[in-house]
Amino acid sequence: MDLEEEFKDVNVEDPTSMDKVLILLENIQAEDDEFMEILLSKQNEMIVTWEQPWYQKSRCLTRPLKITDDSLPQFRTDSICKDESDEIHRNWRKFRKMFNVPNKPVCIARWRNKTKSKRPNAPSEYVRRFVIAFLAQGLERNLYQVYKHVVVRYGSKVKGNYSKYEEKVMNICLLHNPKNSVPYLSTMLGREPRGIYKRMLQLYQGKPPKKKLKWTLSLASKFINLLLEYTGEPLENLKYRSIEKSVWLKLEKDMGQLYTYLQYFWMVTLHSQLFVKYDIEVQALRRHLFKKIKQYPYKVWTDIRWKELLKHVPDGFTHHFLHNVCRKLARSYKGYLNVPLEELIQYGLNKPCVKRRLKTLALNEHNALEVIRYNQKPEYD
DNA sequence: CACTATGAACCTCTAGGCAT
DNA sequence: ATGCCTAGAGGTTCATAGTG
DSSP annotation string for A170-224: HHHHHHH--TTHHHHHHHHHT--HHHHHHHHHHHHH-PPP-------HHHHHHHH
Region of A188 (left: φ > 0; alpha: ψ -120 to 50; beta: rest) is alpha
pLDDT at A308: 80
pLDDT at A79: 67
Provide, in whole angstroms, the distance separating residue A365's CA from nucleotide C12's C1'.
Answer: 42
pLDDT at A1: 45
Query: How many whole angstroms separate alpha carbon A374 and alpha carbon A111?
Result: 57
What are residue A370's DSSP bridge partners? A362
Provide, in whole angstroms, the distance separating residue A193's CA from nucleotide B9's C1'.
Answer: 10
Query: How many whole angstroms separate alpha carbon A151 and alpha carbon A276?
Result: 40
Provide, in whole angstroms, the distance separating residue A104's CA from nucleotide C14's C1'.
Answer: 32
Q: Which nucleotide is nearest to A199 (CA to C1')?
A: C7
pLDDT at A177: 63
Distances (CA, A) of A285 to A162, A288, A295, A298, A359: 37, 5, 16, 19, 14
Q: Using the C1' atom of nucleotide C18, identify the protein residue whose alpha carbon is closest.
A: A118
Distances (CA, A) of A274 to A33, A242, A270, A305, A306: 56, 16, 6, 23, 20
pLDDT tens, residue order, chain A (381 aa): 456 666 777 777 777 777 777 787 778 878 888 888 888 888 888 888 888 887 787 776 776 666 666 667 777 766 677 777 778 888 888 999 999 998 888 888 877 766 666 566 677 778 888 888 888 888 888 787 788 778 777 776 666 666 777 777 777 777 776 666 777 777 777 777 767 777 776 666 655 555 566 788 888 888 889 888 888 888 888 888 877 777 887 887 788 777 777 888 888 888 889 999 999 888 888 888 888 888 887 888 878 878 788 888 888 888 888 888 888 888 888 778 778 888 888 888 888 777 788 888 998 999 898 999 899 888 877
Distances (CA, A) of A244 to A112, A203, A227: 33, 25, 11
pLDDT at A98: 93
What are the φ/ψ torsions at residue A105 (nearest 5 degrees)? Answer: -60, -20
Q: What DSSP character marks residue A103?
A: S
pLDDT at A70: 63
Q: What DSSP character marks residue A242?
A: -
pTM: 0.74
Q: Is the CB of A294 under 7 A from strand B?
A: no
Which candidate, A241, A207, A208, places its Cα nearest to that of A227? A241
pLDDT at A268: 85
The per-type count for chain A, helices as H runs and strands as E runs, is 17, 2
Q: Is the CB of A205 under 7 A from strand B?
A: no
Provide, in whole angstroms, the distance separating residue A183's CA from nucleotide B8's C1'.
Answer: 8
DSSP 3-state assignment of A133? helix
Provide, in whole angstroms, the distance separating residue A335's CA from nucleotide B16's C1'.
Answer: 13
**A178, A17 Cβ separation under 8 angstroms:** no
Residues with CB under 7 A from strand C: A 63-64, 77-80, 117-119, 122, 145, 148-149, 152, 156, 158-162, 191-192, 194-196, 198-199, 202, 207, 210, 212-213, 215, 258, 260-261, 264-265, 328-329, 331-332
